């Protein structure tokens, strides 16, 4: 980076900074640039910076409610996946040059989306339908009634048999296939939709708990905590040093984990407006409505983050903040320094700090840091 003067004054740009953890590092994203800082095998911090699309992050898309959520999340998913791949190469000592783009990255994103949609949307839909059937919450199937009246026997005298004449009609009732029938808006459909969302939440929590037992993932979650603490410290106006940043909370109201929980709750209300269409249409509706639900959840998350200082809003988002403990760990100063380095490179691109303030720290062994220095948090409202 050069020492050229920024095109805007420091502090002029107001932006909701964000990021994510990567292998041995942190991705931070601003309005102009995304920066990834990763520790290589020699303890050096390697940084990659990439310009962001002007229309998505600073143009009409960024200013259009609901649209900005869907488009921004899609772009963030691609950026984050490619950053993960690049970080893995750096951490393993491979070539760190080049952009995150490429056919492998696109294929990885597509495959991840298919797995995610199948596991967290289609599977709960099918499972909830089956549970609803088992509970007797069946669709309003059309009864096909066939009435058969037996022809009376004629005895030898030419009169009707009394026994046959008194025989009642034979009625056969056949229900239509419940998978091909729907259920209108009502309490039964709502109950099944709630069951579906409970299954979604259970799968989400179970998945996080399961992968959180892996040592590599625990370390990844530590960098996630470092990312949160860094942004919390910056938004509180604190000096960005590892020792100071370590004192800030590990939760953040705009966290992606909180977004996933918000998606689950928004789904309950949106799907309740549709009833329970036939299973093929039901599955299709779940896939088609993903952007709609994501857009609503994004706006809701931004609104709660802006109003987190209000006690009743903080009470509402308490489940979101609690869920974040599944995907974060207390970082050490070694991790926090990486997060700060990444964030300062973003601030430099925004014209918030000088090039000297954003210099990459010299390599030091992990043993030189006060490991566990972030275990005491400063509670910032």
For residues 215 and 206, give the distance between their C-alpha atoms in angstroms, rounded to a whole number.
17
Model confidence over 214-226: pLDDT tens digits?
999 999 999 999 9
Name the least confident of 37-41, 114-118, 198-202: 114-118
Identify the bridge partners of residue 27 per DSSP, sorted by sequence position. Answer: 20, 36
Residues contacting 289, CB < 8 A, separation 6+? 270, 271
Residues 6+ apart with CB under 8 A from 16: 254, 302, 305
Mean pLDDT over 48-71 rounds to 85
The dihedrals phi and psi of 375, each to the nearest 5 degrees, come to -80, -20
Helix 290-306 with 279-288: angle, nearest 10 deg: 40
234 to each of 76, 228, 336, how far by Cα in Å?
A: 21, 10, 13
> What does the alpha-carbon distance between residue 279 and residue 277 come to, in Å, rounded to a whole number?
6
pLDDT given at position 47: 94
- Categorize the per-residue pLDDT at 6 as very low, low, confident or very high, splitting at 50, 70 and 90: very low
Contact present, 10 and 353 (Cβ < 8 Å): yes
For residue 1, pLDDT over 80 is answered with no
Q: If you average pLDDT over residues 357-372, what whole number do you get?
A: 72
Give alpha helix (H) positions in the chain. Answer: 54-57, 60-63, 67-91, 103-117, 123-134, 162-165, 187-211, 215-235, 242-245, 256-272, 279-288, 290-306, 311-316, 318-323, 333-349
Contact 89, 63 (CB under 8 A): no
Output 30 or 159, whichever has higher pLDDT: 30
How many CA atoms within 13 Å lie on the side-chain side of 349?
20
- Highest mean pLDDT: which of 105-109, 159-163, 210-214, 373-377? 210-214
Say what the pLDDT of residue 342 is.
96
Q: pLDDT tier at 260 (50, 70, 90 boundaries)? A: confident
What band does 374 get if pLDDT is binned at 50, 70 and 90? very low
In the chain, % helix, strand, coil (3-state, to 5) comes to 55, 10, 35
pLDDT band at residue 334 under the 50/70/90 scheme: very high
Tokens for 285? 């509706």
* pLDDT range class, residue 41, cuts 50, 70, 90: confident
Tell me the average pLDDT of the chain. Answer: 79
Which positions ≥6 away from 42 have C-beta within 8 Å? 363
Distance separating alpha carbons of residues 235 and 93, to the nearest angstrom: 34
3 state SS of 359: coil
CA distances from 365 to 41, 333, 341, 343 (A): 10, 12, 16, 21
CA 379 – CA 248 distance, rounded (Å):
6
Task: Give Cα 13 distance to the centre of its chain.
Answer: 27
Is the confidence at residue 196, as pLDDT, over 80?
Answer: yes
pLDDT at 245: 96
Mean pLDDT computed over 171-200: 73
Parallel, antiparallel, or unpaired: how do β-strands 143-148 and 170-175 relate? Answer: antiparallel
Compute the average pLDDT of residues 309-321: 90
- For the cut 50, the answer to whether the pLDDT of residue 373 exceeds it is no
- What does the block give as tokens for 364? 């030091």
The residue that leads in pLDDT, 159 or 375, is 159
pTM check: above 0.95:
no
Lowest mean pLDDT among 57-66, 120-129, 296-305: 57-66
């Amino acid at each position: 980076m050069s020492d050229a003067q920024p095109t805007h004054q420091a502090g002029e740009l107001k932006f909701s900074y964000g990021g994510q953890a990567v292998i041995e590092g942190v991705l931070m994203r601003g309005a102009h640039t995304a920066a990834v800082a990763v520790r290589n095998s020699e303890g050096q911090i390697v940084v990659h910076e990439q310009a962001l699309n002007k229309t998505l992050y600073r143009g009409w898309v960024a200013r259009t409610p609901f649209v900005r959520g869907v488009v921004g999340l899609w772009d963030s998913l691609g950026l984050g996946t490619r950053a993960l791949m690049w970080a893995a190469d750096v951490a393993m000592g491979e070539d760190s040059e080049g952009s995150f783009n490429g056919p492998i990255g696109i294929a990885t994103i597509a495959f991840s989306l298919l797995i995610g949609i199948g596991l967290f949307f289609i599977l709960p839909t099918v499972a909830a339908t089956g549970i609803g059937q088992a509970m007797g919450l069946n669709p309003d199937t059309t009864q096909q009634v066939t009435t058969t009246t037996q022809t009376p026997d004629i005895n030898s005298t030419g009169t009707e048999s009394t026994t046959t004449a008194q025989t009642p009609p034979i009625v056969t009732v056949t229900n239509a296939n419940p998978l091909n029938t729907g259920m209108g808006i009502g309490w039964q459909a709502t109950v099944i939709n709630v069951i579906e969302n409970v299954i979604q939440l259970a799968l989400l929590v179970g998945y996080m708990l399961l992968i959180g037992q892996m040592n590599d993932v625990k370390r990844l979650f530590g960098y996630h905590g470092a990312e949160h603490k860094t942004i919390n410290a910056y938004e509180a106006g604190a000096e960005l040093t590892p020792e100071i940043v370590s004192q800030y909370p590990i939760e953040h109201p705009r966290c992606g984990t909180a977004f996933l929980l918000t998606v689950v709750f928004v789904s309950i209300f949106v799907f309740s407006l549709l009833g329970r269409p036939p299973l093929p249409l039901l599955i299709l509706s779940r896939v088609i409505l993903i952007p709609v639900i994501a857009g609503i959840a994004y706006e809701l998350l931004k609104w709660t983050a802006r109003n987190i200082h209000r006690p009743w809003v903080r009470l509402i988002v308490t489940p979101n903040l609690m869920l974040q403990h599944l995907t974060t760990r207390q970082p050490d100063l070694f991790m926090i320094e990486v997060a700060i380095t990444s964030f300062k490179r973003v601030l430099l691109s925004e014209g918030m700090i000088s090039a000297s303030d954003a210099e990459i720290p010299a390599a030091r062994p992990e043993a030189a840091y006060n490991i566990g220095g972030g275990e005491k948090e400063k509670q910032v409202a």
